[in-house]
């Protein structure tokens, strides 16, 4: 697949086919790829924790919120992610926060594009309690939780549409397809 195809394929996915799990080794491979991404001042402040045990995945699912706008239970029962990559910034890397957060975004996208290339999908999650996350997984507060990525094989249909009248709220249509409005050209270029 070309990079353009991967970017279009890489949709935030919140229901997974549990019969095809993503392995710990694959997630580690994605992290090694992401770690080759650009980094502000080359401080490389991003650190990772891989979750692949069912008990750890359940613990993380209890802490995060999927598609808050929809007000439905996601992921659905029996369609959980089969892995998580947790992303942190390391205080000791001494990267200015504004740069470190950009590094997180760049690395997260690299992970998801790499996952899409391997036939997996995922969802970035910023909605979780960071203190609880550190406690749940026994991680030092030297590391600041920034983003979680739920991963697995997609069991969802997702479609992009052009946003109308500035409405950017995603929704589910009558067939359960997840619809994501994206800005039209006229709003992109200033
Ligand atoms: C920084 C960031 C944080 C996000 N946090 C969450 C989250 O906590 N829960 C969730 O379900 N989706 C989360 N998302 C996914 C967005 O809802 C999603 O990107 C958006 O709806 C557009 O869909 P798309 O990624 O398929 O284009 C997050 C995305 C980003 C970039």
CATH number for the domain harbouring residue 185: 2.20.180.10
Please tell me if the CB atom of residue 12 comes closer than 6 angstroms to any atom of ligand 1. Answer: yes
Mutate to test the pocket of ligand 1, among 10, 109, 124, 133 (most ligand atoms within 8 A of CB): 124
Shared domain for 188 and 151, answered yes or no, is no
For residue 12, the CA-to-ligand 1 centroid distance in Å is 6
Residues 162 and 69 in one domain: no
Q: What is the CATH number of the domain that holds 82?
A: 3.40.109.10
CA distances, 60 to each of 82, 111, 152, 164 (Å): 11, 19, 15, 35
Q: Name the residue range of residue 167's domain.
A: 158-190
Can you give the pLDDT at residue 70?
95
Angle at 144 between CA 141 and CA 147, to 5 degrees: 140
Q: Are residues 173 and 139 in the same domain?
A: no
Q: Look up the pTM and report it.
A: 0.98
Residue 180 contacts residue 159 (beta carbons within 8 Å)? yes
Q: Is the CB of 171 under 6 A from ligand 1?
A: no
User: For the chain, how many structural domains are there in total?
Assistant: 2
**Ligand 1, atom 3: closest residue by C-alpha:** 126
72 and 165: one domain? no
One domain, residues 187 and 108: no
Q: Are residues 91 and 14 in the same domain?
A: yes
Q: Which atom of ligand 1 is nearest to the CA of 64?
A: 8
148 lies in the same domain as 169: no
| Per-residue pLDDT tens digits of the chain, which is 190 residues long | 999 999 999 999 999 999 999 999 999 999 999 999 999 999 999 999 999 999 999 999 999 999 999 999 999 999 999 999 999 999 999 999 999 999 999 999 999 999 999 999 999 999 999 999 999 999 999 999 999 999 999 999 999 999 999 999 999 999 999 999 999 999 999 9
Ligand 1 atom closest to the Cα of residue 128 is: 8
Task: Give residue 178's region: left, alpha or beta (phi > 0; psi -120 to 50).
Answer: beta
pLDDT confidence of residue 83: 98
Which atom of ligand 1 lies nearest, measured to the CA of 67? 11
Q: For residue 15, how far is its CA from the centre of ligand 1 (angstroms)?
A: 14
With CA atoms as reference, report the closest residue to 80 among 44, 108, 56, 105. 56
3-state SS, the chain, equals CCHHHHHHHCCECCCECCCCCCCHHHHHHHHHHHCCCCCHHHCCCEEEEEECCHHHHHHHHHHECCCHHHCCCCCCCCCCCCEEEEEEEEHHHCCCHHHHHHHHHHHHHHHHHHHHHCCCEEEEECCECHHHHHHHCCCCCCEEEEEEEEEECECCCEEEEECCCCCCCCEECCCCCEEEEECCHHHHCC
pLDDT at 115: 98
pLDDT at 140: 98
Name the residue at shortest CA distance from atom 31 of ligand 1: 124
15 and 77 part of one domain: yes
If asked whether residues 117 and 132 sit together in one domain, one would say yes
């Amino acid at each position: 697949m070309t990079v353009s195809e991967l970017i279009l394929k890489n949709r935030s996915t919140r229901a997974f086919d549990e019969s095809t799990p993503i392995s710990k080794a694959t997630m580690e491979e994605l992290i090694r790829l992401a770690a080759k991404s650009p980094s502000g001042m080359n401080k490389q402040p991003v650190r990772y924790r891989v979750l692949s045990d069912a008990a750890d995945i359940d613990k993380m699912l209890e802490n995060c919120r999927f598609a808050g706008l929809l007000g439905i239970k996601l992921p659905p029962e029996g369609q959980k992610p089969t892995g998580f990559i947790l992303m942190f910034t390391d205080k000791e890397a001494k990267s200015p926060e504004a740069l470190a957060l950009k590094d997180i975004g760049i690395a997260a996208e690299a992970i998801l594009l790499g996952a899409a290339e391997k036939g997996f999908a995922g969802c970035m999650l910023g909605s979780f309690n960071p203190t609880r996350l550190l406690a749940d997984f026994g991680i030092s507060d030297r590391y600041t939780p920034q983003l979680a990525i739920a991963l697995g094989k997609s069991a969802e249909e997702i479609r992009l549409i052009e946003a109308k009248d500035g409405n950017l709220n995603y929704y589910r249509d009558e067939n359960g397809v997840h619809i994501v409005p994206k800005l039209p050209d006229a709003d992109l270029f200033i």
